[in-house]
Amino acid sequence: MERFLLPTPDYPPKRGGVARYCSALVSTFPESITPLIWKSFPAYREMIRNFWNRRKDFDVLLTSHVLPIGTAAFAFRLMTGKPYDVMLHGLDFDAARSVPRKRFVMRVVLFFARRVFANSQSLASEITAFAHRPCLVMYPCVADEFVEAADVLVGSREASPGPSIPIRGKVNGGEPLSEFSPPIYGGSRRGARLLTVGRLVSRKGHVKVLETMKSIPNSTYTIVGDGPMRKEILDAIKALDLESRVTILQHVSDGKLPEVYATHDIFLMPSTKSTDDREGFGIVALEAALFGLPVIATNQPGVDEAVVQGRTGLLIDDTIPDLAKAIVDLANDESLRHQLGRDGRERVIAEFTREKTMSVFQNTTINDLTPSMRESALVSVVIPTYQHANTIGRCIESVLGQTYSPIEIIVVNDGSTDNTAEVLAKFDGNIHVIRQENAGANPARNRGLAEARGEFVMFCDADVVMKPGMIESFVQHLIVHPEASYAYGGFKFGWKVFRGVPFSGDRLRKMNFIHTTSLVRRKDFPGFDPAIRRFQDWDVWLTMLEQHNIGVLVPGVWCDVLIDGESRIGSSWLPSFMYRLPWKYLGWEPERVRKYREAREAILKKHHF
């Protein structure tokens, strides 16, 4: 593995999500990643001097903040050629987008980064749309110490649901805290024990919980954290006469936090999104779930990846009535509460331990993919054919010659009357042939899709000849780019080469640049519209874009489109300028140009452009 230098001001003993994220990464790869810990951000010149002095000790810079560290990493790349990777979180991304100059600099930094990591799928999609490049997802993880503590505390929770917890810190108005024992939920005492953990800032929604407690008289509420809203929260507690029911723990060490989680019933994360602040993911929701707590959270992008509606918690609208109803529902339904808690704990252990989430960092270059990752997913190649006896044989041979396996080949013979059937017979045993009356390309593709069994599907036209490594490269890119629903690349149309360009939703709305012969995740694919006779590929990519499904470019030219059996330009192609000439002013328009224009207008009308 390469050697990385991780310069950051956010690292333990500092607290916070970025510090934990960086620490988890270093703990996972201690021999490969060296942290360079700053007390605060140095000046650009000082950053670059630090990098220069350590240039022999690392191969790649790993930045924890796109600005300003990413800017210095970009400058260092220009000086030395050393690449850099960028890790992004929501607040960092929003802050850089808030000022036009910073927005431009961030685009440059992201464009030249070797890899970009986001802490949620939602943020990765935003970054891809903003920077027109793929972004990898590396989720935050729960700490190893929490996993170990949960194994002990969750098991003992039922036997002793309300232990006395010695915690150092201050409570409410500043009184020293020696012991903390929340009222027991169930049994001889009544009331749900509610908990939030996080900085005391407006977006966390503490005041909303306090307002809610007026309608839930038997509940108690523990707030763990400190921040600028502490006085406002204390004033609200006093004004609502909640001093006996609300506890603020300003300072709780990570060693004691597991016991706080273990002695509560419901975790609350009623965050509010503003123009300059948001809950990007919610690692505390995963920590709570690890200890068997169901989570109630505001339904926001990113948060809905930490909390799964109906499985690990309840996602609600950002209103006090919805919050109150969710609390009452869980407090009164012990079976549901325990089910959400169990499922949440199982999900965290399966998906959000350090080894699981941080492994993405090592396995996200093409060369680092393990054989099992390359070979486990079945790819279904669907080939619709009508009167392509001259090319279908070479097409099938190119699929059979792929370096990837397993592959199933489904050929839909759409009523061909030439000798297509004879050609297909030569491949008997290697392909599955579907015969139907002529219905058109899109119905034929949909018929093949209905028969396909693969996790990935490639719709390969019968006049396409693939390079041997095409499917393997496309699969690998979808594995390392979970934010993408399909992979596409460049192709050759006779002697004319169409090189792929990075995915851009804005560009796609204006023109198609993605060939039909692309690899799609079957679960994300909507099917082809049978009514569309031209621009069928553009139509389906626009439909997927409307469903928030995007593509990822696989650099290179991966296939050759044959014309009449030869790799040459025939009557099927006109230079692009031909379609831009002002034909209506010339009093005549070539039939092919007219059909092109009418088909394009039909697509634009269908998608409301």
The half-sphere exposure of 108 on its side-chain side, counting CA atoms within 13 A, is 16
Three-class SS of residue 279? coil
Residue 391 CA to residue 120 CA, distance in Å, equals 44
Q: Which residue has the higher pLDDT, 549 or 156?
A: 549
**Cα–Cα distances in angstroms (integers) from residue 574 to residues 143, 577, 590, 592, 593, in the given order:** 59, 8, 11, 9, 9
pLDDT of residue 187: 32
The DSSP secondary structure of 99-137, one letter per residue, reads SHHHHHHHHHHHHH-SEEEESSHHHHHHHHHHHSS--EE
Can you tell me the mean pLDDT for 418-434? 93
pLDDT of residue 568: 35
Which residues 6+ apart lie within 8 Å of 432 measured at CB? 408, 409, 410, 411, 451
pLDDT of residue 373: 41
pLDDT of residue 289: 96
Q: Are 406 and 472 in contact (CB under 8 A)?
A: no
CB-count exposure of residue 315 (10 Å: 0-12, 13-18, 19+): buried
pLDDT of residue 565: 45
Residue 193 CA to residue 161 CA, distance in Å, equals 11
Instruction: Please state the separation of Cα 419 from the chain's center in Å.
Output: 47
Find the angle CA(328)-CA(333)-CA(337) to the nearest 5 degrees: 95
Q: Whole-prediction pTM value? A: 0.59
Beta strands in 239-302 (DSSP E): 246-249, 266-269, 295-298
Give residue 554's pLDDT band: very low, low, confident or very high (50, 70, 90).
confident
Residue-range domains of the chain with CATH: 4-137 (3.40.50.2000), 144-355 (3.40.50.2000), 367-573 (3.90.550.10)
Can you tell me the mean pLDDT for 549-557? 88
pLDDT at 580 over 80: no
pLDDT at 433 over 80: yes
pLDDT at 29 over 90: yes
512: its two tokens = 């198609």
Residue 252 CA to residue 156 CA, distance in Å, equals 21
pLDDT of residue 607: 79
Q: Which residue has the higher pLDDT, 176 or 203?
A: 203
Give residue 500's pLDDT band: very low, low, confident or very high (50, 70, 90).
confident
Can you tell me the mean pLDDT for 285-291? 95
Give residue 48's pLDDT band: very low, low, confident or very high (50, 70, 90).
very high
pLDDT of residue 482: 82
Can you tell me the mean pLDDT for 407-432? 94
Structure-derived torsion over alpha carbons of residues 575, 576, 581, 583, reported in degrees to the nearest 10: 80
Range in 194-198, 268-272, 513-517, 563-567 the model is least confident about: 563-567
Element (H, E) at 337: helix 334-351
Mean pLDDT of the chain: 85
Can you tell me the mean pLDDT for 419-438? 93
Interval 230-267: pLDDT, tens: 999 999 999 999 999 999 999 898 889 999 999 999 99
pLDDT at 447 over 50: yes
Residue 269 CA to residue 116 CA, distance in Å, equals 28
Can you tell me the mean pLDDT for 522-526? 92
Is the dihedral angle over the CA atoms 416, 417, 423, 427 positive or is it negative?
A: positive
Interval 61-72: pLDDT, tens: 999 999 999 999
Q: Which residue has the higher pLDDT, 503 or 261?
A: 261
pLDDT of residue 564: 59
Q: Bridge partners of 268?
A: 296
Can you tell me the mean pLDDT for 523-532? 89
Three-class SS of residue 190? coil
CB atoms within 10 A of CB 226: 17
Residue 271 CA to residue 313 CA, distance in Å, equals 15
pLDDT at 484 over 80: yes
pLDDT at 563 over 80: no
Upstream peptide bond of 100 is cis (omega within 30 degrees of 0)? no
pLDDT at 532 over 50: yes
Which residues 6+ apart lie within 8 Å of 606 measured at CB? 532, 539
Can you tell me the mean pLDDT for 509-522? 90
pLDDT at 171 over 90: no
**Cα–Cα distances in angstroms (integers) from residue 79 to residues 48, 82, 83, 254, in the given order:** 10, 8, 11, 41
Q: Which residue has the higher pLDDT, 51 or 548?
A: 51
